[in-house]
Structure 1
Amino acid sequence: MIPDSDNPLAGLPSRAEIAAMILNKRPLRHTLAGWQHYRSRRGRLAPAPKMTARQLAAVPVDRRSDYDLYRRLTNVNLPIQQTPMLGKVTRVINRRLQGNALDQEDPTMPGIMVSGWGNHGKTATVCSIAAAFEDMWLDLHDHLNLASIPGTWDLHAPVAYIATPVTAKPKSLCQAILNFFGPDHGKWTLPQLSHQVADSLRDHGVKVLIIDDVNRLRMHRADDQDVLDLVRALMGFNVTLILTGVNIPGTGLLREATWDRTKRQWVLPPLETTRVHGLEVTQTERRFELVELDRFRYDTPAEMQAFLNHLRGIEVHLRLAKAKKGMLTANGMPEYLMRRTDGVVGTLGRLISDGAQEAMDSGKELIDESLLDEVVIGRDIPADEARPFGAATAPADPGTANAPGSKKSNNRRPGRNTVFDDSGPAAEGLNG
């Protein structure tokens, strides 16, 4: 909303309304109340009205602080934009969510693993996709839980979100799931907790269970191996599991998996010992699709254009009085931003939002290279130093890469990361 020249305050909320935006209580996302708060309010922050330097100078002193606070709020909360990486990952996850939700035959649902380096936006991407799925699912069922038991008050929760416990054990994972719904699970044994988890997922109509930060699991620890066994058992509870984490192939979670070239997905071998909730886990193979969320690239014309489009989307969102068209997209700025951030979405957003605050604080009211030089941010792993995802666990041809007589090339530079759809294991997408 742009104020007209006669009334620069047009569209500016009152001080109380601005305070309500900032002080709005946000429950933790890994609780049902927190997830519903996130789902119902995501993307609803209306940006501050645009003002030129002349219009800003005409704002009364008592309202100037209100406007500055509102546009600072706008500059910090950059919108989630569609990117080539996000688009591909979205299609893969949506295909799995909708396919599993409509499957009326097999109660064992294939899952998804979303991997990527830090600040690539894994959690934000997965939560956004899952929230949109929940909106669709609730509308489809008129917000009713058709699986609810008569006489109970179970809330309908098509999506549940939890984080992997720091010291993960099967009991702590069960407790984290139950804590999402809020029941008092007391000092129950693992079989009792497992039984309650199955009941809670069913009674609340859960279709998607997101388990974040699975990179906390390390397969050399017995407890973590037991947790992974429990996770695989949850796939038999008629829910779609989405696991997210940093460099999942490097954690060993897929160490026992094999790549099925016919089904074009990772297949986890049957377990031989674990029993959860009275179900024999070896009843069916447990499968996951591995997708990887990459950074922006700047090598081809298409990649350059995608990066420019993203910068343009940020540029029109920023509220700086002296901002000009092309502030982020012209005069070498794209190359500068790529060099500073390696194309990592989260790092890029933090650099620009911090730069916008510095532009306001300094009175410069625009972003340029000299201003951003003063902004210190963390740096992601450079592409030429990072080990390609899955390089040690997903050979280009699982059936032949390690065969006798096969040769390894040592004169190839490290490949670049790509976003993997269902075109094969991770390393098949590497470019030398």
Structure 2
Amino acid sequence: MNDDDLAAGVVAGLPGRERIASLILASAPHRHTHAGWQHYRAARGQLLPPPPLTVRQWKLLPPERRSDYDIYRRLTNMNLPVQETPMLRKVTRLIDRRLQGNTLRQDSPTMPGVMVSGWGNHGKTATVSSVAAAFEDQWLALHDYLNPDAVEGTNDLHAPVVYVQTPVTATPKSLCESILNFFGPERWNMTLPQLIRQVADSLRDHGVKALIIDDVNRLRMHRADDQDVLDLVRALMSFNVTLILVGVNIPGTGLLREASRNRHTGQWTLPPLESTRVHGLEVTQIERRFELVELDRFHYATPAEMDAFVSHLHGIEAHLRLLKAEEGMLTGDGMPEYLMRRTEGVIGLLSRLIEDGAQEAMATGRETIDQALLDQIVIGRGVPDDGADPAAMTAAVGKKKPRKSRNSVFDDQGPLAAPAEEAG
């Protein structure tokens, strides 16, 4: 295909200006509502990048469509796809195993749950949401998009997955209201026992199989209210749903302070509730079990780890739309080592660095990403020293071992600035 034919094909295949505007201007509803979760589930992975063009091919586009193409590729560059990584596979296997297993349980008094922990920017919410949305797709297709547990004579929403966030100042009441408001905002003028019963009824009537509670690291065990919230979370495990807790550094928050870990199974066993604050809804005294999985960063010490990181960069490279991009833009000439050194393998920071780099490449007309351009980008690292292979990092990318007591999170000033003639 010659350049003229390709340009004509791009013009024909581009969405109309109204569609592009709607993609940019439309505000997606919040994921912690039923409408927002369904929008996310239906729209995820639907943004397809436009065909790649060279500078010459781009100049052949009509001026008005050239502007549309630029807007659309900017949208593409700012929405990197969720790719399969070793970290995602580990979390996916665990959540899938737990969801599939729990949905097959019969007459079980309490459902084992999952905790997904990790540091900031490790992609916890994106990973868990992606896995849960795929489960919901499968569950709906299996049951012809009908609720197999529907109560006769009712017309409740069918919601196999519920996603909520831990309230900033959490109390048992506020958590119950967050769960109930997922199905529709109302004023819940009820006592705590009534709210808990309403939550139990709603989870059953809406066919909920998985309840995701994000940002559980907001709970602090020195607060009485937060201890009561944790008691409520334990009680939710008896409501025939799989509980998935997501948070930053869960082992360090105190949520597992009283739990014991089985070194053979990897499960955390929480003790029975010490109080009856759930007012008559005390669950069975069978021990509550969570499986904790850490969502790690990329590492770069072994050949397998290097291959995984480079493969991820290949996926990003194929998605980006820059007019002067060449094969190996992110995977050749020492770029993997450079990107590992800048981000320490944290997937969220890697995405931000490349997204900002793509914007800068378009704004300056350079239309490619290289180390000199990325040297100008400052990112907040947010990578605490958790003892993750410092020796391997030093050997692989020449980075000094970080100090043990570092607690600064917005400290990445980029590489030391070099004179312009040297940077070029």
Give the Cα separation in 2 of the matches to 1:114 and 1:257.
16
What amino acid is the match of 1:176? S
Shift of 1:217: 0.3
Give the Cα separation in 2 of the matches to 1:25 and 1:280.
41
Give the Cα separation in 1 of the matches to 2:129 and 2:73.
26
TM-score computed with the length of structure 1 as normaliser: 0.87
Contact 1:198 1:277 in 2 (8 A): no
Match of 2:118 in 1: 116
Shift of 1:291: 0.3
Contact 2:109 2:284 in 1 (8 A): no
Match of 1:366 in 2: 368
Match of 1:318 in 2: 320
What do the CA deviations read for 1:259-296 (whole angstroms, capped 9, x no partner)?
13454411111113225363323532111110000000
Match of 2:275 in 1: 273
Contact 1:170 1:190 in 2 (8 A): yes
| Unpaired runs of at least 5, structure 2 | 390-402, 405-424
What do the CA deviations read for 1:367-402 (whole angstroms, capped 9, x no partner)?
0011111111111325xx23679xxxxxxxxxxxxx
Q: Give the secondary-structure state (helix, strand or coil) at the position aligned to 1:128.
A: helix
For the aligned residue pairs, the C-alpha RMSD in angstroms reads 1.8
Give the Cα separation in 2 of the matches to 1:308 and 1:264.
30
Q: Give the secondary-structure state (helix, strand or coil) at the position aligned to 1:223.
A: helix
| Unpaired runs of at least 5, structure 1 | 390-412, 415-432
Aligned partner of 1:93 among 85, 92, 95: 95
Give the Cα separation in 2 of the matches to 1:335 and 1:191.
56
Match of 2:191 in 1: 189
Give the Cα separation in 1 of the matches to 2:303 and 2:257.
37
Contact 1:175 1:193 in 2 (8 A): yes
Match of 1:223 in 2: 225
CA shift in 2, pair 1:282/1:52, >3 Å = same
What amino acid is the match of 1:46? L
Give the Cα separation in 2 of the matches to 1:286 and 1:9.
62
Give the Cα separation in 1 of the matches to 2:27 and 2:138.
26
Give the Cα separation in 2 of the matches to 1:225 and 1:185.
25
Match of 1:8 in 2: 7
Contact 2:177 2:188 in 1 (8 A): no
What amino acid is the match of 2:128? V
Q: Output aligned runs, 1:294-309, within 5 Å.
A: 294-309=296-311
What do the CA deviations read for 1:290-321 (whole angstroms, capped 9, x no partner)?
00000000111111111000000000110000
What do the CA deviations read for 1:328-375 (whole angstroms, capped 9, x no partner)?
001111111011111000100010011001000000000001111111
CA shift in 2, pair 1:71/1:266, >3 Å = same
Aligned partner of 1:239 among 234, 238, 241: 241
Shift of 1:109: 0.4
Aligned partner of 2:83 among 81, 84, 101: 81
Match of 1:355 in 2: 357
Contact 1:178 1:185 in 2 (8 A): no
Give the Cα separation in 2 of the matches to 1:264 and 1:375.
40
Contact 2:228 2:277 in 1 (8 A): no
What amino acid is the match of 1:89? V
What amino acid is the match of 2:198? Q
What amino acid is the match of 1:20? S
What amino acid is the match of 1:127? S
Give the Cα separation in 2 of the matches to 1:354 and 1:271.
48
What amino acid is the match of 2:154? T
Give the Cα separation in 1 of the matches to 2:77 and 2:132.
26
What is the percentage of aligned positions where both structures have the same residue? Answer: 71
Match of 2:65 in 1: 63
Aligned partner of 1:201 among 186, 200, 203: 203
Match of 1:386 in 2: 386
What do the CA deviations read for 1:105-135 (whole angstroms, capped 9, x no partner)?
3141000000000000000000000000000
Q: Give the secondary-structure state (helix, strand or coil) at the position aligned to 2:30.
A: coil
- For these two proteins, the number of residue pairs brought into alignment is 388
Q: Give the secondary-structure state (helix, strand or coil) at the position aligned to 1:56.
A: helix
What amino acid is the match of 1:202? R
TM-score computed with the length of structure 2 as normaliser: 0.88
Q: Give the secondary-structure state (helix, strand or coil) at the position aligned to 2:341.
A: helix
Contact 1:344 1:380 in 2 (8 A): no
Aligned partner of 1:346 among 348, 363, 369: 348
